[in-house]
Amino acid sequence: MTGHSLLGAALPMVAAINWHSLFFLLFASLACGFALAVVFTTNVVRMALHLVLSLAATAGLFFLANAEFIGAMQLMIYVGGTLVLLVFGVMLTAQQPFVSIRTSARDQVLAGVAGAATLAVLLVAVLSVGRWGLPASGEVDAPTATPLGMALLGVRVDAAGGGHSGFLLPFEIVSVHLLVVLVGAAYLARAKRRRTPRPVDVLASADPPLAPRPAVAVPGGVTRGASRSALVGSGDAAGGGA
């Protein structure tokens, strides 16, 4: 009987919970908590992991705000892409296991200034929002992927005929930016071939350590070397040398 009355007491409590706010608080505190953990950890791999969790919680916030496309992109690009590479790089370059990082006082001051400036900008933006609350019922079920894709290609479905030109220009600028980054990365990571002189060039340059060689005096060697350089150098000498 007591079990039944307990259940009877618990169910209204469960029903009374505002699940949206609960999950918002959960994801928001996770994001903030792990962001702080990134700052205060010294182990570099743990740092990367905390960043992963913080960004994943941010993706949860996007999903909660019905911005599924942005949420999935956040998971895919930041959590699943960029940070995998970051962790990969950290793991490859760490000299000893469980390497730790100490930040210098100068860096801490700089980071504090930059962080405070960003926070000020964000606070101004947040305080300028008129109304905070759940979206109206009509806005909830709108699919997000198609209008976003259209807007990126220059067609604003949400503001038809309102003089909005879409986001084709920023999209193109970002594409060109990414292309530049790709080319740069390919240039930096290219195979750097060490130029080694061919035997003929070594003979021709006659460096001091290599110069006093008995082989130069031998007619056969010289002839072959000469013919080779002739072949490379000028066309008319090729016939006589061969």
Partner 1 sequence: MNAVLPSPTTIAALVKIGLLVGGLMTAAAYLVLLERWIAAWVQDRKGPNRVGIPLTNIRLFGLGQPLADGLKIILKEDFTPSHVDRVLYNAAPLLILAASLAIFAAIPFGSVLPPLGIPGLPDPVPFLVAPGLDVGVLWVFALSSIAVYGVLLGGWASNNKYGFLGGLRSSAQLVAYEIPLGLGLLGVVLAAGSLKLDRIMEAQATSGVWYAFAQPLGFIVFLVASFAEAARLPFDLPEAEQELVGGYHTEYSGIRLLLFLVAEFLHMITAAFLIVIMFLGGWHLWGVTGSAAEVSWAGALVRFAILSAKILGVIVFFMLVRWSWPRFRFDQLMNLAWKVMLPLGLANLVTVAVVEEYRPWLVERLGSSGAGWVALALPWGMFFVGWIVAGLLTPSGTDNRPIHTHGPLDAEQSLAEDLVEA
226 is a site residue for partner 1 (CB under 8 A): no
Binding mask 121-150 for partner 1 (x = CB under 8 A): --------------------x-xxx-----
User: 166 — alpha (psi -120 to 50), left (phi > 0) or beta?
Assistant: left
Residues 148-177 that bind partner 1 (CB under 8 A): none
Binding mask 89-118 for partner 1 (x = CB under 8 A): --xx----xx--------------------
β-pair partners for 43: 100
Closest CA to 225 of 213, 234, 216: 216
Q: Which residue in 3, 130, 199, 240 binds partner 1 (CB under 8 A)?
A: 199
Binders of partner 1: how many residues, by CB under 8 A?
A: 47
C-alpha span between 118 and 106 (Å, rounded): 19
CB of 234 to partner 1, least distance (A): 22
Q: Which residue in 22, 32, 84, 116 binds partner 1 (CB under 8 A)?
A: 84
C-alpha span between 47 and 87 (Å, rounded): 9
Binding mask 24-63 for partner 1 (x = CB under 8 A): -------------------x-xx--x--x---x-------
Q: What are phi and psi of 43, to 5 degrees?
A: -80, 125
Chain centroid to CA 36: 21
* C-alpha distances out from residue 210 to 185, 207, 229, Å: 40, 5, 18
C-alpha span between 48 and 46 (Å, rounded): 5
9 is a site residue for partner 1 (CB under 8 A): no
Q: What are phi and psi of 100, to 5 degrees?
A: -120, 155
218 is a site residue for partner 1 (CB under 8 A): yes
In a 10 Å sphere around its CB, with 0-12 CB exposed, 13-18 middle and 19+ buried, how is residue 57 labelled?
A: buried
Only one of the segments 6-14, 114-122, 169-177, 180-188 lies at the binding site for partner 1 (rule: CB under 8 A); that segment is 6-14
3 is a site residue for partner 1 (CB under 8 A): no
Only one of the segments 26-34, 87-95, 103-111, 121-129 lies at the binding site for partner 1 (rule: CB under 8 A); that segment is 87-95
Question: Which two tokens mark 120?
Answer: 């000020």
C-alpha span between 64 and 28 (Å, rounded): 11
Considering beta carbons, is residue 113 or 232 the nearer one to partner 1? 232
Interacting residues toward partner 1 by CB under 8 A: 11-12, 14-15, 43, 45-46, 49, 52, 56, 68-69, 72-73, 75-76, 79-81, 84-85, 87-88, 91-92, 97-98, 141, 143-145, 194, 196-199, 202-203, 207, 210, 213, 215, 218-221, 224
